A and B are shown apart, each in its own frame.
Chain A
């Protein structure tokens, strides 16, 4: 009879320890991100806005080099760790510089890329409007052009002769 409570105590302790171990392992498992849960589409949604400096002008989502494959793995890993797109893009900028971005960040001389095209378009529109206006305007009766009656008679005579020749 004495052995029974001690057996129960040992069993309870064993169960408690097992539960703690299981809980901790579950916790550890929950903390370890699994990149396999991230789909290619999720990775490519971010990768298409990035460019690897090695393969210039090829977006990361369609680049086939080993370097790009490694980069996509990094995106997958970061997504699995719960990073958002902005954080991942910033990570790549910090690691490899601004040139990995599809569009330059709006600062410094990069502002030219954003300002010049709209200014050029507006200037072009303005020039066109001015040109159309000037074309539509009737020509002023210019006083500088001599009227036929104002021409000297010998000039008129010469013009008539020339016309007759033709």
Chain B
């Protein structure tokens, strides 16, 4: 009997070891697959859709002003993502500034420029070149653009008084009239 025990013990141990090894391997494989699936789902989510609440964000402007999107509820919010290296952004810069100047007096429309993956001297030079006066700031850590999951620049998000996204412009606006046509219906008479 003793001999049989001595012979069977290493085999039993090896079998148990293999079994635990397999279990561990399966757990590891399943874990990695779950992580991959979550990552894929996130990347497939796409940008914030019309009708959805926009993510809250904070923007520190080039002038050092801190703006929190949550504090702007009750106003129509125009969020423009841009960069100094982006040529299409230049096409709409003057129209956006003209729209801002048009609505500025009312006080119920806020324009925010979010400077995406840019360098500060060039960004400042761009603002100066196009005489942009509405608040603009860098997207530090690309946190805002990631929250909105933008696909590129320029992109403009127009949000109503309740913080619900009402319109997305991918690419530049073509004219001041086009910008006003989106904002006007959102304003209370």
Residues of A within 8 A of B (CB): 52-54, 65-67, 70-71, 73-74, 93-97, 99, 109, 112, 116, 119-120, 123, 126-127, 130, 133-134
Q: Is the interface of A mostly helix, strand, loop or mixed?
A: helix
Q: Number of B interface residues, CB 8 Å?
A: 23
Report B-chain residues with C-beta under 8 Å of the C-beta of A70: 84-85, 118-119, 122
B149 to chain A, nearest CB (A): 13
Report A-chain residues with C-beta under 8 Å of the C-beta of B32: 116
Contact of A127 among B21, B35, B118, B140 (CB under 8 A): B21
Assess the A71–B141 pair: CB atoms within 8 A.
Answer: no
| Given A53-B117, A70-B85, residue A133 in contact with residue B21 (CB < 8 A) | no
Assess the B83–A67 pair: CB atoms within 8 A.
Answer: yes
B80 to chain A, nearest CB (A): 17
Assess the A53–B142 pair: CB atoms within 8 A.
Answer: yes
Residues of B within 8 A of A (CB): 14, 17-18, 21, 24-25, 28, 32, 35, 83-85, 117-119, 122, 138, 140-143, 146, 152
Count of A-B residue pairs with CB < 8 Å: 52
Give 12 new A-B contacts, CB below 8 A, not counting A67-B117, A99-B142: A54-B117, A70-B122, A97-B141, A97-B143, A112-B35, A116-B32, A119-B28, A120-B28, A130-B17, A130-B18, A130-B21, A134-B14
Q: Is the interface of B mostly helix, strand, loop or mixed?
A: helix
Assess the A67–B17 pair: CB atoms within 8 A.
Answer: no
Chain A's closest residue to B153 (CB) is A54
A65 to B153, CA, bound (A): 14
Report B-chain residues with C-beta under 8 Å of the C-beta of A120: 28
Assess the B140–A94 pair: CB atoms within 8 A.
Answer: yes
